[in-house]
Structure 1
Amino acid sequence: MRKRAFFLAALFGPAIALVFSIGAGAASESTARDEAELGRIEQAIRASIGWAKNKDLELLYHTIANDPDFLEVHPDGGVVKGFEEFKKAEGIWMSPNFKAVRYEIRDLRIKLSRSGDVAWFFCVLDDINEWKGQPANWENTRWTGVLEKRDGRWVTVQQHFSFAEDGDAPQAEGPAYPVLFYSGRNDNKDVYILRPGEREPRNLTNHPAQDLCPAASPGGDRILFLSDRGGNMDIYSMAVDGSDVRRLTATPEIEEHPEYTPDGKRIIFVRDFEKRTEIWIMNADGSEARRLTNNEARDERPFMSPDGSKILFMSNRDGNYEIYTMDPGGGDQTRITRTPEWEIFPAWSPDGKQIAYSRKFREDGRMKGMIRVMNADGTGDRAITEIDTRDENAMWSPDGRFIVFQSVRDGNFEVYRIGADGSRPVRLTDHPAWDGWGCYLPSGNSRN
């Protein structure tokens, strides 16, 4: 598990270089005051890390600007905006699975403003930690930030973490959100998590049953998945560390494609009746399930819009798979694509203005597919991956800047990431077994 610099232990690093500018002719008394201020700034910087040794949240929050203008940029481009969003990771920070081991700060440099109430800093940071007894480190991390003196104490108002260029770290330029997927490695299908900065994913389910199709809650604290561990393919949920597994459905039919609604209070999913599939909705605890579609076709892969006003889904009701929308209650079912190919696996962008999906077709005796993006009304459709491969199951990053998908472009299905504009494709998994059905875990736990 990769966690952010705030999970670091409280050991002090080596010698520190403090750099500040003093105007010509400044008195020694002024110099002494500046040196004392720099010492207090250094204490605030260290406290924003050292709190993790004893999990002292009060100490952490004493060093962070408690306002909506707080800004934090992660190594992979993810952004935390505001103190309230920053606090969403408390559940992981305080988890017994997390242990801060040590940290080291090198080459700390602090610049104090002439007014004496603003400071800038730079350092190189090693972040050594454990998650469930396994290493979870950030090493050689560049850390820069801005502090302001408020009510007599120094607080961080902005900070930026970045990695040195490393060709072996596949997520170094992507968003700082963990990626969930399922894989057939180890001769069994399990749900895995790949955290930014880590090269190997971790098995979250680790069960002899078939565990498939992970989907993250909006707050990043729960993961839905499918499993046949109860004798039939049903919907389960678990905590982000794989604990607290709960069975949510128990029907004779097969359940498929679960997704949380944007408020996290309900789950939309597919129930398979063999010759047809229908879209259902239930409470997040599995209660009060009700059907939204009712026909002889296959209605699949539902996804609710961020504002909760529409549900995307794919259906072959008109001869081949196309993309449709409907109201949250199942009314006003409207077709928005019309091509001879299959349009499958649609997903709303975080702002609800765009839809990513896969267009699939057969050519030269084999299946091909590309990731495409269109406006919410079906206009402005364009391809963002090449046509001569098979790319499927696009899912947006929470900040809308990236898309994760599965592809056979390198020989077998692996998980890839690409910019929302089609730029910077990166392979995230590398295993002979099937890896796919990727999605991002939102920012509530992206610091881990």
Structure 2
Amino acid sequence: MASVVDRRTIIIGIPVLAGLAAVGAVTGYALAGDPPRAGDGGDAPDGSGGLGSAPTGSPRPYPSETMLVRFDQGESSFVYGVTPGTDKRTKLADSGHDALPQWSHDRKTIVYIRDAGNWWQIVTMNPDGSNQQVVVDRVTRGTRVCWSGDDKRLAYVDKVDGRNQLFTLTLGEAKPKQITHTPDDKDDPTWSRAGDQVAMWINTRGNRQIAIVRLDQPDATPLWLTKDKVNCADPCWSPGGEWIAYTRNGEVSGQSDIWVVRPDGTDNRPVTTGTAQDMDPTWSPDGQWIAFTRGKVKAPSVWIVRPSGRDPQRLTVGPAYEAHASWS
């Protein structure tokens, strides 16, 4: 998902959300059902456990760390910080065209993109929304930005001769570095904690597939993690690095699910199934949950689910339209 509409077709400013209640009328967050149990699905604290194992452990709440979301209202979108399971919501970015927030790994900095009118910008800010700084002034519309494992660099895509190429930027330096020079379009980078690989989708033979690009050989043949006849997107590395969650389109138009796969391409399996449109997964800091966006482009909401597929729960309540969650 993206600002007001699907991130893959961002067109901020189209009044697709007419009739949405005002921010003050939104009731906040609530979880349905009993608190989930630690170890449901056999998931280890770092997300490395086997998916689908028998539940173990004692009752515990889901992680309470602040989640970032994109909140849509009318023709505008904002970045909010929310505490899952509570009504606490804090507006952090309020240009009216803010999207795709991402926590740094140390949770000391947030990066997001915003529409500056005639072009897009990459912006960083403190967790309380202060100290907003434009770090890249002109980028491809709707690009996703990710952090290196040491939080010193950002990766994103930008167009070169009509094709998306991977770039990195060392914070504090003025000039980004072009990493790839390949002819296939690509986007949605997610950086490995070790710092030597980036997972992203790459368009091959007419389909977007999830692949890993080695930064020491960025133009070599990538390691393909998916080989489907449908589009895949939105990869996100688990905190422990043992899994990559991603979006896999279904066979029917408008339907997509959250899947997980090992970084070597094994154990590729669905987490969510059904007729809904699920996308943009993000892991909880302890790896016990995957948050994702569910719903049509004009009416998104944030859900969470165990990596095993258990305990799907809607976080968004009332008339709020929320998407682009970032939790870890």
TM bin, normalised by shorter chain, reads 0.7 to 0.9
Rounded Cα–Cα distance in structure 2 between residues aligned with 1:222 and 1:242: 9
What's 1:350 paired with? Answer: 239
Q: Which is worse superposed, 426-435 or 228-237? A: 426-435
Match of 2:66 in 1: 178
Return closer, same or farther for 1:431/1:411 CA change in 2, 3 Å cut-off.
farther
Give deviations 1:144-188, integer Å, cap 9, x for gaps: xxxxxxxxxxxxxxxxxx9xxxxxxxxx93212111111212541
Tell me, yes or no, if the aligned pair for 1:180 and 1:214 is still in contact at 8 Å.
yes
Q: Quick one: structure 1 residues 323 and 198, their matched pair in 2 at CA, closer, same or farther if it must change by over 3 Å?
A: same
Contact 1:234 1:247 in 2 (8 A): yes
CA contact (8 A) 2:66 2:82 kept: yes
1:367 aligns with 2:274: no
Give the letter for the 1:337 counterpart: T
Structure 1 residues 286, 302: closer, same or farther in 2, change over 3 A? farther
> Counterpart in 2 of 1:96?
none
Correspondence list, 1:178-197, <5 A: 178-185=66-73, 187-197=75-85
Query: Residue 204 of structure 2 aligns with which residue?
Result: 317
Q: CA deviation at 1:229?
A: 3.1
Amino acid at match of 1:278: Q
Identity %: 24
Tell me if the contact between 1:182 and 1:189 (Cα under 8 Å) persists in the aligned partners: yes
- Alignment match of 1:435 (pick from 302, 322, 325): 322
CA distance in 2, matches of 1:192, 1:255: 18
Give the corresponding residue for 2:163.
Answer: 276
Q: Structure 2 vs 1, CA of residues 220 and 276 (structure 1 numbering), >3 Å: closer, same or farther?
A: same
Distance 2:324 2:139 in 1: 24
Change over 3 Å in CA distance of 1:271–1:401 after alignment to 2 = same
Return the letter of the residue paired with 1:188.
S
1:205-264 deviation per Cα after TM superposition (whole angstroms, max 9, x unaligned): 1224x1111011111111001012374201000111111000001237546111111100
Other structure's SS at 1:248 match:
strand
C-alpha contact (below 8 Å) 1:185/1:432 kept by paired residues: no
Q: 2:89 aligns with which of 201, 215, 225?
A: 201
How far the C-alpha of 1:297 sits from its partner, in A, is: 2.6
One-letter amino acid matched to 1:417: I
- Per-residue CA deviation, residues 46-76 of structure 1 (Å, 9 max, x unaligned), is xxxxxxxxxxxxxxxxxxxxxxxxxxxxx98
Which structure dedicates a bigger proportion of its chain to helix?
A: 1
Q: How does 1:398-437 map to 2 (within 5 A)?
A: 398-408=285-295, 412-430=299-317, 432=319, 434-437=321-324
What's the TM-score once normalised by structure 2's chain length?
Answer: 0.76
Q: Please give the alpha-carbon distance, in whole angstroms, between the structure 2 residues aligned to 1:273 and 1:255.
A: 16
Gaps of 5+ in 1: 1-74, 79-161, 163-171, 443-448
- With structure 1 as the length reference, what TM-score do the two structures score? 0.56
1:346-375 residue CA offsets vs partner (Å, 9 max, x unmatched): 111111111111111341xx3111111112
Contact 2:85 2:315 in 1 (8 A): no
Task: Tell me, yes or no, if the aligned pair for 1:249 and 1:286 is still in contact at 8 Å.
Answer: no
Q: 2:111 aligns with which of 224, 236, 245?
A: 224
- Conserved in 2, the CA contact under 8 Å of 1:324 and 1:336? yes
**Which of 191-200 and 410-419 deviates more?**
410-419
Q: 1:410 to 1:339 in 2, by over 3 A?
A: closer
Q: Does the 8 Å CA contact 1:255/1:272 hold for their aligned counterparts?
A: no
CA drift at 1:377: 1.0
In structure 2, the CA distance between the partners of 1:314 and 1:431, relative to structure 1 (3 Å rule), is: farther
Contact persistence 1:211–1:226 (CA under 8 A): yes
| Alignment counterpart, residue 269 of structure 2, candidates 367, 376, 382 | 382
Could you say if the C-alpha distance between residues 274 and 383 of structure 1 is closer, same or farther in structure 2, counting changes exceeding 3 Å? farther
Preserved contact between residue 64 and residue 84 of structure 2 (Cα < 8 Å): yes
Contact 1:354–1:374 under 8 Å retained in 2: yes
Q: Give the secondary-structure state (helix, strand or coil) at the position aligned to 1:257.
A: coil
What CA distance in whole angstroms lies between the structure 2 residues aligned with 1:234 and 1:410? 23
Indicate conservation of the 8 Å contact 2:164/2:185, yes or no: yes
Post-superposition offset of 1:313:
0.6
After superposition, the Cα gap between the structure-2 partners of 1:308 and 1:179, relative to the gap in structure 1 and judged at 3 Å, is same
Corresponding letter in the other structure for 1:349 = S
* Residue 411 of structure 1, CA deviation: 8.7
Please tell me the root mean square deviation across aligned C-alpha atoms, in Å: 2.6
Could you report, residue by residue, the CA deviation over 1:379-415 in whole angstroms, capped at 9, with x for unpaired residues? 1111111132111011111211111100118993111
SS at match of 1:256: coil
Within-5 A mapping of 1:121-200: 173-185=61-73, 187-200=75-88
Q: Distance in 1 between matches of 2:118 and 2:297?
A: 35
Contact 1:235 1:255 (C-alpha < 8 Å) held by counterparts: no
Q: 1:310 to 1:227 in 2, by over 3 A?
A: same
What amino acid does structure 2 have at the position aligned with 1:304?
W
Question: Radius of gyration: which is bigger?
Answer: 1
Measured after TM superposition, the shift of residue 276 of structure 1 is 2.3
Q: SS of the residue aligned with 2:157?
A: strand
1:291 deviation in Å?
1.3
Question: Would you say the 8 A contact 2:122–2:139 is kept in 1?
Answer: no
Cα 1:249/1:435, change in 2 over 3 Å: same
Does the 8 Å contact 1:254/1:273 carry over to 2?
A: no
Task: Return the alpha-carbon distance in structure 1 between the equivalents of residues 108 and 133 of structure 2.
Answer: 14
Other structure's SS at 1:295 match: coil
